[in-house]
Amino acid sequence: MQWTTKIPLIAILRGIRPQEVNQHISVLLDAGFDAIEIPLNSPDWQKSIQLAVDTFGGRALLGAGTVLHPEQVDALHSLGSKLVVTPNTSQEVIRRAVKLGMTVCAGCATATEAFNALEAGAQALKIFPSSAFGPDYIKALKAVLPADVPVFAVGGVTPENLSVYLRAGCAGAGLGSDLYRAGQTPEITLQQANAFIKAYKDATQ
């Protein structure tokens, strides 16, 4: 399996509002991000995702996080969303999204959950919360997973510790509050985004 974007960092815009979408995604793309999720517990997420897809769909892998139900997958597909990120291992959600041609990054914590997600067709896995498990746990889990499965660390990843997770075998990371907090300015988003992109490039070049 191959992650489908150039930079395997997923920007998580939890809590973003429709009127903020264009500015924040624009600066993320300028910084080098090309995978962005808007969690479904954000206000008016349908409008935000539709705006994102309409404006930036040709430049990035766009979609949703905190996807819990197959009906949400259908709604996302109708909006043109290409990315589904789950907090858990719902095989029904994963299968529906894969059937619709979407990229799925499934949340898991244990080897059992990871293999259940892969059996359902997930193309990538996210270990959440990574800060609670730590890089040593992820390294041990990676040892039993197929080598080509992209694993993302999510939860507590910062520009300072990103390289530790990459050395543990992660392909990349999902970045939440250390990249974007609801209500912050696009200037702060750009500053944080640049820090993460630099950290990733420093660790992989």
Q: pLDDT tens-digit profile of 104-151? A: 999 999 999 999 999 999 999 999 999 999 999 999 999 999 999 999
Q: Is the pLDDT of residue 2 over 90?
A: no
Q: What are phi and psi of 97, to 5 degrees?
A: -65, -45
pLDDT score for 32: 98
108 burial via Cβ count (<10 Å: 0-12, 13-18, 19+): buried
pTM above 0.85, yes or no: yes
Instruction: Tell me the C-alpha distance between 138 and 153, whole Å.
Output: 8
In tens, the pLDDT along 44-91 reads 999 999 999 999 999 999 999 999 999 999 999 999 999 999 999 999
Extract the tokens encoding 18: 């429709």
Position 11 pLDDT exceeds 80: yes
8-state DSSP, 90: -
Pick the CATH number of 9-204 from 3.40.50.720, 3.20.20.70, 3.10.20.30, 3.40.50.20: 3.20.20.70
Name the active-site residue from 6, 82, 92, 126: 126
The strand pairing partners of 125, in sequence order, are 106, 151
Q: Are 40 and 14 a contacting pair, CB within 8 Å?
A: no
Joined together, the tokens standing for residue 13 give 């815009």
Q: Is the pLDDT of residue 1 over 80?
A: no
Give the number of other CB atoms < 10 A from CB of residue 41.
Answer: 11
65 touches 73 (CB < 8 A): no
Instruction: Report the distance separating Cα 113 and Cα 179, nearest Å.
Output: 27
Q: Residues 6 or more apart from 3 whose CB is under 8 A from it? A: 123, 124, 150, 171, 172
Active-site position among 20, 37, 82, 142: 37
Look up tokens 């997600």; give the residue: 117
Nearest CA among 114, 173, 179 for reference residue 140: 114
Q: What is the rounded distance in angstroms from the CA atom of residue 63 to the CA atom of residue 46?
A: 10
- Exposed, middle or buried by CB within 10 Å (0-12, 13-18, 19+), for 181? middle
Tokens coding 62? 């766009």
Q: Is 37 a catalytic residue?
A: yes
